[in-house]
Amino acid sequence: METSSGIRNAIEKIGEEGLFLTSFIKNTFKKGFEWNEFLRQCYKIGYMSLGIVLLTGFILGFVLTLQSLPTLKTFGAENFTPNMVSVSVIREIGPVITALICAGKIASGIGAELGSMKVSEQIDAMEVSGANPMQYLVVTKILACILMIPLLTILADGVAFLGGFVGINLNGGMNGLLYFRKTFQALSFTDLYPAVIKTFFFGFIIGFVGCYKGFNSNKGTESVGLAANAAVVTASVWIIIVDAIAVQLTSTLVYN
């Protein structure tokens, strides 16, 4: 009994998510796209997370460099530190850490915002007035995430290189020109494009999960917190799952 109703609930959930996704896609292409609100969301998302993304990016590059230096030194390969750091930052650490930070910052913000609009009947009021809350609230937020997360990731990658440069100069030193030449030498197009593509998916996950959890939160004030919390947890898990899939796909399709 228990398990069968559990399974039914799970299936119902997937059905609801599917409907929400379909509605998002339909409303994206409906006429009357909310450009102003979309731009406002882009600004808000970018502005809200810029500081923390830059800070973590810098520290990542810095720490990664300090961590790799001694090991590479034992092989007499400390000159290759920038190459190694740049590949790991671009391929994996930059996108994933930025996405996880944004899941914490943005998905929870969206979940809480829409959750409280739901609780205070603002979403119902919008709908029943004949306006389209999907188009105004959801489409704009998801698309803004899809656009902004890749940009934030690129910025994080950039400051991670700076962090690496600082790290290397505190431990022996390398001139800037050489450092950045090595950094970019190590990168090929096949490192870049799979990494960029997956950040679009991360952006989608953050926006979609935040909106879905907020839009479908229950009535009652405690559900705002629950929606925000569920948004972070679910988005983070999906980011990690999608990343694992992306790594597997790129290693079979691109590097072979």
Q: Site residues (CB under 8 A) for another protein?
A: 113, 116-117, 120-122, 124-132, 136
How far apart, in Å, are the Cα atoms of 202 and each of 61, 103, 123, 147, 244? 21, 9, 26, 10, 12
Task: State the DSSP string of 165-217.
Answer: HHHHHHTT---HHHHHHHHHHT--HHHHHHHHHHHHHHHHHHHHHHHHHHHTP
The CB-of-185 to another protein minimum distance in angstroms stands at: 48
Q: Considering beta carbons, is residue 118 or 198 the nearer one to another protein?
A: 118
The CB-of-239 to another protein minimum distance in angstroms stands at: 27
Q: Considering beta carbons, is residue 55 or 126 the nearer one to another protein?
A: 126
The CB-of-128 to another protein minimum distance in angstroms stands at: 5
Please name the residues in contact with 148: beta carbons below 8 A apart, sequence gap of 6 or more: 42, 45, 46, 49, 203
The CB-of-34 to another protein minimum distance in angstroms stands at: 9
- Cα(54)–Cα(49) distance, rounded to whole angstroms? 8
Q: Considering beta carbons, is residue 44 or 73 the nearer one to another protein?
A: 44
Q: Considering beta carbons, is residue 120 or 185 the nearer one to another protein?
A: 120
